[in-house]
Structure 1
C-alpha cells in the first residue's frame, strides 16, 4: 500500500508539473524547484522567495504561512524591502526622490511629500510614454523633412530638365537663325560674284575679238596705200560691241537683313515664352480662390453688387486697381501705394497707362489691354505676380517681398473715364 501511494503521489506531482508553465527567459522562476524551474506565480514578502503553483500550496493552507504577504511574482525581492526597517517599499518620497516603507514616513521622512509607489510608477510611466511619443513625433518630423527634401530635389531636377530643354531649344533656334542669316548674306554675295563673272567673261570675249581685228588692221597698215584700200573690202566686218557705259556691278544691300532675322527670332522666342507662361499659368491656377468683397470694409463712396463680385463708383462698374495688401495697412485718408507701406499694386490710369507701384513707379508696356488679371502670391518665396490670364502673359512681378502678416486682395475703383477696365 505504501508503494502504491508513493507511486500515485509521484504521478500526481509529475502531472501537475507538466500542466504548469516552465519559466521562460525574462519570467520569474520558482525558487524551490530543482532541476527544471517552473514559472513563479506569487512572491512572499516575508520569505523573500517566489513559488510555483505546487510550492505555493503551503502558503495557502498552513495557518502560520497564511499570514505572510503575497504579491504577484517579482524578481530581486531583497531590493523591494527597506534595509533599515525590513518592511516593504510601498511608498515614494517625492521630496527625496526615493522609495520608502511605511515606517520611513513616520520616522525619517516626516512631513515629506509621500505618495503610493504605484501612483508614482504610473506617473513616471506616463511621463516616459509622453517622452516616447515626443521621440516618435520627432522621428516622423525627420521623415517628413527628408520627404520634403526629396520632393524638393525632384522638383528641382524636373525644373532643371525643363529649363535645359527650353534653353537648348532657344540656343538651337538662335544658332539656326544665325546660320540662316549667314546663308542669306552669302547667297546675295554669290549672286553678285556670279553677275560680275558674267560681265568679265563677256568683256574678255569682246577684247579677244577686238585684238584679232586690231592685229589684222596693223598688218594692212604696213602695205602701200593702193594695196591697203584694195584689201579693206575683203576684211571681216568689225565685231559687234556692247555699250558698257551704264553697266556696273552694285554691291547687294544688306540693310534690314539682321533686323529681320532678329525680329523672326523674337517671334520664335515670343511663341516659346507664351508656351512657358501658359504652363506657369496652369500651375498657379490650381491655387485659385473665389474672392468676395467685404461690404464692411468698403469705402462709403463704393457700391458693391449683391454677390460681392463687383464694385461700382458712380454708375459704371469698374476696377482700376488690382492690389494685394497686408492686414494692418492704413486704408483711410491719403494712401501711399508702395511695398514699403504694405501694398503691392498694379494701376491703370487714363485709357492705357499701366504702372507697377514699386516705389518708384515702373511704367508697364502691354501689347493689349488685359481682360482678366490674375494675382499669384507665394508667401514663403516673397513673390507677388500679376498675370494677363487670357493672353497667358506676365504683367509684372514684385520679388524679394517680406511678409509677416496675412495678405488680402485690395481693390480701388475710380470713375470710368472712357477706357475699358479689367473685370473682377
Structure 2
C-alpha cells in the first residue's frame, strides 16, 4: 500500500479544516472526509451539522466511524514522506558542497579540516595552531564536515569514534566502558568498510532488480502490443464472420418473403380462375332463370309444353361446396429456418476449423516423463507413446511417480502463455487426457476435478465421454474423436479439447485459476479384455497441408 502513496498527492490526505494530514479520518454522508476531532469541533461551534466543503446540512448528527482505509493510507503517506525527507537529508549531507571556516569573520574561506575536540572547522590559515601548539596537536582532525555536533556523544560530549555491533550504534570511548562494556566494539572505519561492502552488494542487487523490472515492463509492453494485434485481427475476423452470417440470414429471409409472395400470387390467380368460372355459371343460370320466368307466365298449353324441353337441358352441375382457396403457410418458415440452420452450421464448422488452425500455431513438443509413470505403464523410447500392461515393472518409488493410478505426466511444464498438443486415441475404448497441476496427489487414488488439480476429459465403454468439471459433465459428440487436441491459455484460465479431424470443440474449462506449473496428463486405462490395447500417441501437429 505504501507504494500506492507515490501516485497520490499530499492534498488528497489533508483535512480541509486543519489543513494537515488526516488524523482519525471519518467520512460523512455527503462523501467528504475530515479528521474526527476537526469535524466534531466544527459542528459543536456552528451548532449545525453542515459539511464545510459542499455545505450540505445533515438534520441529525451522523454517527462517525474512523475510515480505516483512508487512515492506513494517511499513515503510509506520513511514513513515505519521512523516508523522502530522510533521503533528501542524506543527499544534502552527501552533496553539501564546500564547508566554510567557522573562524573567518569577513570573507569566509573554504575549510581544510574540522576538529572533533574544538567542534570547529578551520581554513588553512586558522588551522595553523593545531600544527604548532602541542596541546592542539593531540586534537582529532577530520575532513571538513557540517553539523559537527552530530558527531559528538550526547551523553559524554566525546567524539563518536567507535561502533557497537551488538546495539548497532555509534559510541564514544566512555560509552564503551560504561554502557557497552560486554559488547562487540569495532572502529568506525572497520564498520564503515564492512557496511560499505554490504551496501555495494545491496546496490548490485538493487540494480539487478531494477533491470529485471525494466525487462518485465518491456515484456509487458510487447505482450500488450501483440495482444492489440491479436485483438484487431479477432475484431476483423469477427466482423467478417458475423457479416457473412447476417448476409445469410438476410438472404434466407428475402428468399422466404419471395416464396411467400409467389405463393400468394398463385393463390390469387387460382381464386381469379374460380371466380371467373363462377361468374360464367351465374350468367348462364340468370339466363335460365329468365326463360323459366317467361315460361311460367305462358297460359298457352301447347306452347308451354313445346318449350319446356329446352329448359330441361343440362344445367351447371359443378359442386362448389368443397372448393376453397386456402391461405396455408404451414411449414414454410420451419423449412426456411432448417435450411438457414444448416447453412449456419456450415459457417460455424468453417470458423471452428479456422479457430483450430490458429490454435495449432501454439503447438509445443511434448514427451512423456518416465519418472512419473505408474509401474503398469510401458513408454516407448521416443517418449511419445504409452501402453497399459497388467504386469507391474520394478521401478523405484520416487516422489514424482504415480504409485496407484496408471497415469503419466509430460516432461514439459508451463506456467505462462499458450500451448497446444495433440494425442491419437484411435482404437481405444477408454482413456483420460488433460492438464494437471504440479502438486497433484501421486501416491493414492485420484479424483479428476479442478479442485484436485486436474482439468481432464475421459472416454468409457467406447462411447461415453465426460468432462470432469466437478461434478462431471456428460458430453454428446457427433462423432468419436480419433485425435484429440488440448489447448491451454494460462493467463485467460482456459483449457479446451478439440476433435482434430472434425475440427469440432469437445469441451472448454473456463475461469480456471492455475497458480503453479502445469503438466500434460495421460492415462491409457486398462486393457478392457484386449479391446483397449491401443496406445495413447502424442502426434505431430498438422492441419491441411502445414505442420508445426
Q: TM-score, normalised by structure 2?
A: 0.53
CA separation in 2, counterparts of 1:228 and 1:343? 107
Shift of 1:122: 6.5
Count of matched residue pairs: 388
**C-alpha distance in 2 between matches for 1:282 and 1:119:** 67
Secondary structure in 1 aligned to 2:498?
Answer: strand
Alpha carbons of structure 1 residues 391 and 197: separation in structure 2 relative to 1, 3 Å: same
- Residues 90/243 of structure 1: CA separation in 2 closer, same or farther (3 Å cut): same
Pairs within 5 Å for 1:93-112: 93=164, 98-112=169-183
Match of 2:352 in 1: 277
State the alpha-carbon separation in 2 of the partners of residues 76 and 361 from structure 1.
Answer: 75
- Residues 48 and 219 of structure 1: is their aligned pair in 2 closer, same or farther, counting only changes over 3 Å? same
Output one character per residue of 1:182-219: Cα deviation in whole Å (capped at 9) or x when no partner: 65445434432442233113312331343245335534
Give the 3-state SS of the residue equivalent to 1:277 in structure 2: helix
Asked whether the equivalents of residues 467 and 475 of structure 2 are also in contact (C-alpha less than 8 Å), the reply is: no
Residue deviations 1:237-293 (CA, integer Å, cap 9, x gap):
x99968466983363664543332232232243244335434543554354322223
Matched, 1:386 2:461: no
- Unpaired runs of at least 5, structure 2: 1-94, 390-424, 539-548
Contact 1:388 1:395 (8 Å CA) reproduced? yes
Query: Quick one: distance in 2 between partners of 1:279 and 1:60?
Result: 90
Q: Which residue of 2 aligns with 1:263?
A: 338
- Is this contact kept in 1: 2:386–2:524, CA < 8 A? no
Deviations 1:124-162 (CA, angstroms, capped at 9, x unpaired): 77679969959x87x969x96xx69x9599799879968
Q: Give 5+ residue unaligned stretches, structure 1.
A: 1-23
Give distance in 1, aligned partners of 2:440 and 2:294.
Answer: 113
Q: Which residue number corresponds to residue 29 of structure 1? A: 100
Q: 1:78 to 1:86 in 2, by over 3 A?
A: same
Give how far 1:101 is off: 1.9
**Residue 465 of structure 2: aligned partner:** 355
Equivalent pair of 2:102/2:122 in contact (CA under 8 Å):
yes
Mapped to 1, the partners of 2:432 and 2:332 lie a distance apart of 42
1:68-120 per-residue CA deviation (whole Å, 9 max, x = no partner) reads: 43211101223323466554221234566653222332345422343333555
Give the RMSD, CA atoms, in angstroms: 5.3
Name the counterpart of 2:112: 41
1:289 counterpart = 2:364: yes
Secondary structure of the structure 2 residue equivalent to 1:290: coil
Structure whose alpha-carbon radius of gyration is higher: 1
**Does the Cα contact within 8 Å between 2:385 and 2:536 map onto a contact in 1?**
no
Contact preservation (8 Å) 1:301, 1:313 = yes
Give me the whole-angstrom Cα distance separating, in 2, the residues matched to 1:78 and 1:400.
Answer: 64
**CA–CA separation in structure 1 for the residues paired with 2:329 and 2:102:** 112
The two structures have a TM-score, normalised by structure 1, of: 0.66
Tell me how far apart the structure 2 counterparts of residues 410 and 151 of structure 1 sit (CA, whole Å): 34
> SS in structure 1 opposite 2:326?
coil
Within 5 Å, give how 1:1-400 maps onto structure 2: 26-33=97-104, 36-52=107-123, 54-55=124-125, 58=128, 62=132, 64=134, 68-82=139-153, 86-93=157-164, 98-118=169-189, 133=206, 177=252, 181=256, 184-185=259-260, 187-212=262-287, 214-215=289-290, 218-219=293-294, 222-223=297-298, 224=300, 243=318, 248-249=323-324, 251=326, 254-278=329-353, 280-282=355-357, 284-295=359-370, 298=373, 302-312=377-387, 320-324=430-434, 325=436, 328-329=440-441, 344-349=455-460, 353-356=463-466, 358=468, 362-378=473-489, 383-398=494-509
- Aligned mates of 2:274, 2:292 — CA distance in 1: 27
The answer to whether the 8 A contact 2:100-2:110 is kept is: yes
How far is 1:418 from its partner? 9.8
8 Å contact kept, 1:356–1:396: no
The secondary structure found in structure 2 opposite 1:55 is coil
1:361 is displaced (CA, Å) by: 6.0
